[in-house]
Amino acid sequence: MEYPNFSLTDQVALVTGASRGIGFGVARALAHAGATVAVAARATDELHTLVEEIQREGGTAVAFPLDVRDNAQIRATIEAVQTTLGRLDILVNNAGLGANHPALDVTEADWDEMMAVNLKGLFFCCQAAGRIMLQQGHGRIINMSSQASVVGIRDHAVYCASKGGVNQLTRVLALEWSAQGVTVNAVAPTFIYTPGTAERLDTPSYYQGVVERLPIGRVGTITDVAAAVIYLASPAGALVTGTVLMVDGGWTAQ
């Protein structure tokens, strides 16, 4: 019997939006699994902190500035990753925005800003990475979605729409690319405790309202999300493509 292999040794991974929160943790987890990690974000000072942490833990990481709202910069950065590190095996599309607006208060600027990052930027990162991976005959693309991609969340009309679009892009790209060795999947977390969500989740009434919807009885951790990413990026996930993996504590089972 062949046993599952979760190692990412000799793989090169790119994580967008890696300067904080889930992206920061996922990059560290990929390095721990053996990958050489390219970390990209607008906040380059925080990226250097991440690179130093990964190096202290015995891993290898390189920082690249990237604003996913700029398609030319996406192409240039992904080409730079390939040039610098020799290949690109894994893309984790983590860069994203969140906002809390009643639908009647959403402006055109609100809509355009979120779609530019969460959907348009994500697609063109997939496209640029896909060109390299298809040429290699191997690749793993993991898009960061959300439980809000499959159920409605009040006051999150634009966010829900953008993440629903992520799921559909994931399915279409999987159909187009999987036969050529490139799998495309999405990870859809529930509420995850991060420095960015701490202010809300540290409020007892807010936390209680969230946990009441979670059959598992707790919010998620960055490690919970990173574990799903490692699985989909690894040889163990080779047969999985076009899937939205819910990491939601049972929220969407109701």
Active site residues: 159
Check: CB of residue 28 under 8 Å from CB of residue 8: no
Tokens 């159909």, located at residue: 175
Check: CB of residue 248 under 8 Å from CB of residue 190: yes
SS3 101: strand
> 16 forms bridges with which residues in the sheet?
40
- Kindly state the tokens that stand for 251: 């929220």
In degrees, to the nearest 5, what angle opens at C-alpha 113 toward C-alphas 107 and 114?
A: 95
DSSP alpha helices (H): ranges in the chain? 21-32, 44-56, 71-85, 108-115, 122-136, 157-177, 198-201, 204-211, 222-233
- Kindly state the tokens that stand for 247: 């990491």
Nearest one of 206, 161, 189 to 252, comparing CA atoms: 189
- Kindly state the tokens that stand for 213: 């919807």
